[in-house]
C-alpha cells in the first residue's frame, strides 16, 4: 500500500502531528521521518526511496519555512519535483499545503515554464483557525482515492446515497402526499454499513470495467429481502444509456422500463419473491459531471398492504376536505430516466402482471 509522504520543517511538527492524526482517521498510512527513521539508517537514501515510492507527496509550507534560508525540506522537494516530471499531468501527486499565512516559494521550478505556484495549493487553516473545508476535501477527494480507493468509495457512496434518500424524503415532506414510514425505512436501510460496503466494493469493480470498455456495466447483489441492481455508466447521456439496454420485449415505449420489468419477472422466479424489493442504483459519470439515481420498487406484500390502506382511507375521506393526497410514493416520484406518467404506467402494468402470476401459480 502506498503512503502519503509529508515534507515539513521540524519547527512545525506539532501541527504536522495534527495532520497525521486527521489522515489516520481515514486509515491513510503516512510517511513521517520522525516515525520511520531508526538509528543507524542511511536516512538520505531512505527518504529519497520513500518519496519515489509514495502515492502522494504533500509539501507543507509555513512562516517557519519562509524564515529559513535553506532546509532539508528543500532537498525533499527537489527529489519530489524530479518524480513529478515522470507522472501524468492529469494525475495529482504533488500537493502544496499552506499551514498558515505564507507564500509558496518561486525558487522551485517544475520545468522551463512552470514553478510551484502553477500547482493549486490547499490551505490548512481558515480565518477562524479551524480546519479548512478544502483540507477535508483534499483528504476525501484527492488523497483517499489514490491511497485507499475502496475506502474512498465506501465514504463517497454512503454520502451520495444518504443525500439522495434525504432529498427524496424531503420531497414528500413538502408535498401534500400521505407518507409511509415503512417505505422510507426501506430506503434508509440501503445506507446501512454492511450494505454500503458491499455496494461500494461492487461499484469499485464496475468503475474499472466501465472505463475500460466505455460501456454500461451491471452487477447484481442479492440480500435476504431485496435484489439490488447496480449500474455504472461511463457517460452522462441518459438517452444513450436507454438505447444501449438489451431487452426482449417492447411493451413500453421507454426501454428502461422494459429492462426493469424483465428484472421484476426474474425476481418472481425466486423463493419468497412477494417479500423482496427490487432496487436499481444508477451512477453516470464522465469527465465533467456525475448523475445518481435510485429506482426503488417495494415488495408485493408491502405494496398490497399500502394499497389497501389507501383504498380504505379514500372511502373514509370521500366527503372530507384538507386530507392528504393518498397515492403510493413511487407513482409520484420520477427519476432522471423516467417521468411521473411513465412511472405510474409502469406500476399499473407491474401490478397486473403480479396478479396474473399469482393466479397462474396459486
Q: What average pLDDT does range 50-62 have in this prediction?
A: 92
Provide the residue range defining the domain that includes 22.
4-147
Highest mean pLDDT: which range of 121-125, 126-130, 330-334:
121-125
SS3 260: helix
Is the pLDDT at 39 greater than 50? The verdict is: no
Is the pLDDT at 172 greater than 80? The verdict is: no
Highest mean pLDDT: which range of 16-30, 149-163, 211-225, 342-356:
211-225
- For 276, the grid coordinates are 423482496
User: Of 211, 208, 218, nearest to 246 (Cα)?
Assistant: 218
User: In the prediction, which pLDDT does 21 show?
Assistant: 85
Whether residue 172 sits in one domain with residue 130: no
229 forms beta bridges with 220, 280
User: In the prediction, which pLDDT does 274 show?
Assistant: 94
pLDDT in tens, 61-115: 999 999 988 888 999 999 999 999 888 888 889 999 998 888 888 888 888 788 8
Whether residue 86 sits in one domain with residue 47: yes
Answer with the residue of higher pLDDT: 91 or 214: 214
CB 294 within 8 A of CB 164: yes
Q: Which of 165-174, 210-219, 284-293, 309-318 has the lowest mean pLDDT?
A: 309-318
Whether residue 172 sits in one domain with residue 131: no
Whether residue 15 sits in one domain with residue 130: yes
DSSP E strands, 100-243: 122-123, 217-222, 226-233
Whether residue 84 sits in one domain with residue 196: no
Q: Which residues of 229-258 are buried (b: 16+ CB within 10 A; e: fewer)?
A: bbbbbbbbebeebbeebeeeeeebebbbbb
Distance, in Å, from the CA atom of 267 to the CA atom of 177, rounded to the nearest integer, reads 29
Q: What average pLDDT does range 302-306 have in this prediction?
A: 86
User: In the prediction, which pLDDT does 89 show?
Assistant: 85
- For 111, the grid coordinates are 520545468
User: In the prediction, which pLDDT does 330 show?
Assistant: 54
Whether residue 143 sits in one domain with residue 179: no
- For 82, the grid coordinates are 524530479
The CATH number of the domain where 55 resides is what? 3.40.50.10140
Q: Which of 113, 147, 181 is the last residue of a domain?
A: 147
* Host H or E run for residue 4: strand 4-7
Q: Helix axis angle, 43-53 relative to 72-84, nearest 10°?
A: 40
User: In the prediction, which pLDDT does 162 show?
Assistant: 92
User: In the prediction, which pLDDT does 5 show?
Assistant: 93
User: In the prediction, which pLDDT does 319 show?
Assistant: 54
User: In the prediction, which pLDDT does 35 show?
Assistant: 52
User: In the prediction, which pLDDT does 126 show?
Assistant: 61
Q: What average pLDDT does range 257-278 have in this prediction?
A: 94
Q: Which of 147, 168, 191 is the last residue of a domain?
A: 147
Distance, in Å, from the CA atom of 45 to the CA atom of 43, rounded to the nearest integer, reads 5
How many domains does the structure of the chain reveal? Answer: 2
Q: How confident is the model at residue 131 (pLDDT cuts 50, 70, 90)?
A: low
Is the pLDDT at 40 greater than 50? The verdict is: no
Whether residue 346 sits in one domain with residue 214: yes
User: In the prediction, which pLDDT does 323 show?
Assistant: 57
Whether residue 233 sits in one domain with residue 222: yes
Q: Which of 126, 147, 168 is the last residue of a domain?
A: 147
Whether residue 258 sits in one domain with residue 348: yes
Collect contacts of 123-131 with beta carbons under 8 A, ≥24 apart: 123/97, 123/98, 124/15, 124/19, 124/97, 124/98, 124/99, 124/100, 125/99, 125/100, 131/22
Whether residue 26 sits in one domain with residue 132: yes
Is the pLDDT at 350 greater than 60? The verdict is: yes
Whether residue 192 sits in one domain with residue 79: no
Q: How confident is the model at residue 37 (pLDDT cuts 50, 70, 90)?
A: very low
Q: How confident is the model at residue 228 (pLDDT cuts 50, 70, 90)?
A: very high
What is the average pLDDT value for the chain, to the nearest integer?
Answer: 84
Q: What average pLDDT does range 333-337 have in this prediction?
A: 71
Whether residue 173 sits in one domain with residue 79: no
319 forms beta bridges with none
User: In the prediction, which pLDDT does 327 show?
Assistant: 56
Amino acid at each position: 500500500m502506498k503512503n502519503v509522504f509529508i515534507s515539513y520543517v521540524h519547527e512545525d511538527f506539532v501541527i504536522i502531528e495534527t495532520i497525521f492524526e486527521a489522515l489516520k482517521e481515514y486509515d491513510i498510512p503516512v510517511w513521517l521521518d520522525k516515525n520511520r527513521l531508526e538509528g543507524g539508517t542511511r536516512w538520505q537514501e531512505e527518504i529519497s526511496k520513500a518519496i519515489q515510492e509514495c502515492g502522494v507527496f504533500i509539501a507543507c509550507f509555513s512562516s517557519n519555512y519562509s524564515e529559513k534560508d535553506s532546509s532539508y525540506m528543500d532537498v525533499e522537494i527537489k527529489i519530489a519535483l524530479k518524480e513529478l516530471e515522470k507522472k501524468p499531468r492529469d494525475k495529482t501527486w504533488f500537493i502544496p499545503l499552506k499551514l498558515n499565512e505564507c507564500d509558496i516559494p518561486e525558487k522551485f521550478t517544475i520545468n522551463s515554464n512552470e514553478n510551484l505556484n502553477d500547482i493549486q495549493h490547499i490551505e490548512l487553516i481558515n480565518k477562524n483557525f479551524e480546519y479548512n473545508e478544502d483540507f477535508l476535501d483534499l483528504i476525501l477527494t484527492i488523497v483517499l482515492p489514490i491511497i485507499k480507493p475502496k475506502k474512498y468509495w465506501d465514504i463517497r457512496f454512503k454520502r451520495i446515497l444518504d443525500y439522495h434518500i434525504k432529498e427524496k424524503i424531503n420531497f414528500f415532506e413538502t408535498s401534500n402526499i400521505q407518507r409511509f414510514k415503512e417505505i422510507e425505512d426501506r430506503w434508509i436501510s440501503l445506507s446501512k454499513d454492511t450494505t454500503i460496503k458491499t455496494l461500494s466494493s461492487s461499484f469499485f469493480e464496475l468503475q474499472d470495467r466501465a472505463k475500460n470498455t466505455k460501456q454500461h456495466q451491471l452487477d447484481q447483489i442479492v440480500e435476504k429481502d431485496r435484489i439490488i441492481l447496480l449500474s455504472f455508466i461511463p457517460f452522462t447521456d441518459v438517452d444513450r444509456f436507454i438505447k444501449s439496454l438489451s431487452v426482449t420485449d417492447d411493451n413500453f415505449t421507454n426501454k428502461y422500463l422494459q429492462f426493469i420489468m424483465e428484472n421484476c419477472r426474474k425476481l418472481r422466479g425466486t423463493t419468497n419473491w412477494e417479500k423482496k424489493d427490487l432496487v436499481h442504483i444508477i451512477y453516470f459519470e464522465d469527465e465533467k459531471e456525475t448523475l445518481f439515481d435510485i429506482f426503488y420498487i417495494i415488495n408485493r406484500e408491502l405494496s398490497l398492504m399500502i394499497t389497501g390502506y389507501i383504498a380504505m382511507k379514500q372511502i373514509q375521506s370521500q366527503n372530507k376536505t384538507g386530507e392528504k393526497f393518498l397515492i403510493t410514493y413511487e407513482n409520484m416520484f420520477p427519476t432522471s430516466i423516467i417521468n411521473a406518467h411513465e412511472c405510474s404506467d409502469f406500476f399499473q402494468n407491474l401490478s397486473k402482471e403480479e396478479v396474473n402470476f399469482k393466479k397462474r401459480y396459486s
